Amino acid sequence: MSDVAPLVLKKGEERRLRAGHLWVFSNEVDVARTPLTALQPGQPVMLIDGAGKTLGSGYAHPNTLIAARLVDRGGHALDRSLFVHRLNVALALRERRYADPFYRLVFGESDGLPGLTVDRFGDVLVAQATTAGMDRLQDEITDALDKVLKPRSIVWKNDSSARAIEGLGNEVRVVGMPVEGPVEVREGALRFAADVIEGQKTGWFYDQRSNRDRLAPWLKGASVLDLFSFAGGWGLRAVADGAASADCVDVSGRAVQAVQANAERNGLGDRVTAQAMDAFDFLKAARAERRRWDVVIVDPPAFVKRKKDFKEGALAYRRIFEAAMQVLSKDGLLVACSCSHHFPRSALVEAVQAGARHLDRQAQLLEFLAQGPDHPVHPAIPETEYLKGALFRILPA
């Protein structure tokens, strides 16, 4: 790496890195010895502590709060061979857990590749680079993915909002064979169609798969309401796992069309409905009509995207959970989820409990839910644990 540069930290600021974290904040850099302004966004760097000892190799961004990310503690160059090694390590975990090649293959920092996400859909891979460092290394990553997995297509779906923080533009491009139309996702006994070109995120939410598995034993003969349904993962899985029916609701007309198509694809069209409507509006109308379901699943987008949004976001979670309880049967089950890192599990439980008491109902917490094993949590990096949820039984007081 001819453009590698030293990045020296202030004395004592290496402690968090030595404890396992991978981020360097701008106020931790000794700018007198290594001015950040001399670096280019995404430039490879060698991280050095205040005493002159090498901490490892990574990449920098002079214009963001996270000024650098550590990639390799051995100081290895950020090249194809490093990516091949990391991909093989990540693949070994997934192949131990999943019989079929449908999973998140790379989960950023947790797989030693900060700023990179890769989802696998059989012989199609969907990759996202959310940092300038990984954006610069797309060719090396592409070569490594090709060597390790030999996919038919690699979709670089670089349209995440996180890229704007790094000053990156959005683009979606395909390497290899063209991807025409949706690709297949297998989950449980079902086959779904995922739009990996224009769909949300990478086209599918693998992080909830284990939670959908855990819900299965509770579903026999139940009526299910799936709010924020996206392509119907929760609702369709529920019916396939024993529920009598599922009503799916999503504000996106495209998502509703996907639910309907996936229901027909799996022979569930007569037991699944889909409606394009705001979840809050749907619940208000359902309450007025005195409609009831045995199981209500609430899996919304992040209401707390930043720490300063906590108060407003917590109120939104409380409102949606309370409204969901109002359309539950007397002995109903509530699946309450949050993908907001800044909304801890304790706050989720508190929101459900507060809503239940306001309605003069009793909540029993049956199980905690979390992101699946293809989204491993890095113990030193709390930010990698973002998905949390719980299964509640809601009873009359």
For residue 168, the tally of other CB atoms under 10 A from its CB is 19
CB 299, CB 337: distance < 8 Å: yes
Read off the tokens for 16: 């968090």
* Both structure tokens of 56: 């490892």
Cα(10)–Cα(5) distance, integer angstroms: 16
Distances (CA, A) of 346 to 350, 368, 388: 6, 11, 10
Coarse DSSP helix, strand, coil percentages of the chain, rounded to the nearest 5 percent: 35, 30, 35
Indicate the residue type of 276. Answer: A
Which 3 state secondary structure label does DSSP give 295? strand
Contact 352, 334 (CB under 8 A): yes
Residue 238's region, left for phi above 0, alpha for psi from -120 to 50, else beta, is alpha
Query: What tokens does 198 get?
Result: 């224009």
Q: How many residues does the chain have?
A: 397
* Per annotation, catalytic residue among 87, 304, 339, 390: 339
Q: Which amino acid does the sequence have at 224?
A: V
Closest CA to 385 of 342, 351, 350: 342
The distance in angstroms from the start CA to the end CA of the chain is 66
Alpha-carbon distances, residue 227 vs 28, 249, 275, 340, 369 (angstroms): 43, 5, 10, 17, 17
339 included as an active-site residue: yes
- Collapsed DSSP state (helix, strand, coil) of residue 62: coil
From residue 26, alpha-carbon distances to 31, 32, 167 in Å are 9, 13, 16
Q: Which residues are catalytic?
A: 339
